[in-house]
Amino acid sequence: MRHRFICHYSAAVALALFFCFLSAVHAAGEKRLIAEKDLFDFVWIGDVQVSPDGGLAAFVRVTTNEKKEGYDTSIWVVQTDGSEQPRQLTTGKHDAGARWSPDGKFLVFLRALEKDGKAEPAQLCMLPIGGGDSFVFTDMPKGAGDPKWSPDGRTIAFTSSSNPEDLAKQEKKKQKEEELRKVASASGAPAADIPTAAAPHNPANQTPVTTLSAKDNVNERESDVHVITRAVYRSNDEGYLDPKRPQHLWLVSAPRAADEKTQPR
């Protein structure tokens, strides 16, 4: 009797294990089509740049942002011999385009800061590889792009659609804002409360007078719809050039510290 019980028990256990095995095989063999929500989990890497000594490779890591409505980019670095795990170099949400200095001690890259939840035009940013925080060292009105080091590492060339007139307007605006801050500081009133021009005359008991400039009648946001009458294609098949927004070549001294003042030219 005892022998028969052991046989029945062993058979039951074996049968249970067999069905568990079949279930595992069936589950492993299940496949599903990719869904649109899977795109949020994708991680891309690109723009790999090897250091001058060949020991490190910097690259851009792309992920979807928290709101699932855009992308975050950051710069990472990894040993080319695979001896270490990749590590993150920058903490900005829109960092890209890293380029090594000739001596391999610095990385210049593009950083677009956010204002009111929207990315501003990208500016040049410097990162000391040996340690230290990164710092932005340009303030081009229309942003900067495509940085390139000179062979001696003293100068960086970059492109921007900004022109000297744009920089002059920007400087004039900064000076005006600084004057308002000084007046506000002396009077103890917020700078926003300081009038910038005399109000138009308004006789008593009449409807307040409101003046509108030409800019007030125009939507600040430029329409995405354009009538294309001319297309100048690039020779590298990466798109076409817009004659209305020409890119200019600029030079700037390569700073080694955040307190070094630089002036693009």
- What's the pLDDT score for residue 242? 65
Does any domain span residue 181?
Answer: no
| Inter-residue contact 84 to 63 (CB < 8 Å) | no
DSSP structure string for 131-166? S---EE----TT--EEEEE-TTSSEEEEEES--HHH
Does 104 fall in a domain? yes
| pLDDT tens, position by position, 217-243 | 444 555 555 566 666 666 666 666 666
Q: Is 9 helix (H, G, I), strand (E, B) or coil?
A: helix
| Structural domain containing residue 121 | 38-160
pLDDT at 201 over 60: no
Q: Fill in the DSSP letter of residue 84.
A: S
Q: Is residue 84 part of a domain?
A: yes
The encoded tokens of residue 159 equal 């492109």
CATH number for 91: 2.120.10.30
pLDDT of residue 207: 44
pLDDT tens string 93-115: 999 999 999 999 999 999 999 88
221 vs 264: CA distance, rounded Å: 28
Q: Tell me the whole-structure pTM to 2 decimals.
A: 0.67
Domain assignment present for 61: yes
Our separate counts of H helices and E strands in the chain read 2, 15
Of the candidate ranges 31-40, 52-61, 78-87, 217-226, the one whose mean pLDDT is the lowest = 217-226
Residue-wise DSSP of 46-82: EEEEE-TTSSEEEEEEEEE-TTSSSEEEEEEEEETTS
Identify whether 198 is part of a domain: no
Tell me, what DSSP letter sits at residue 94? B
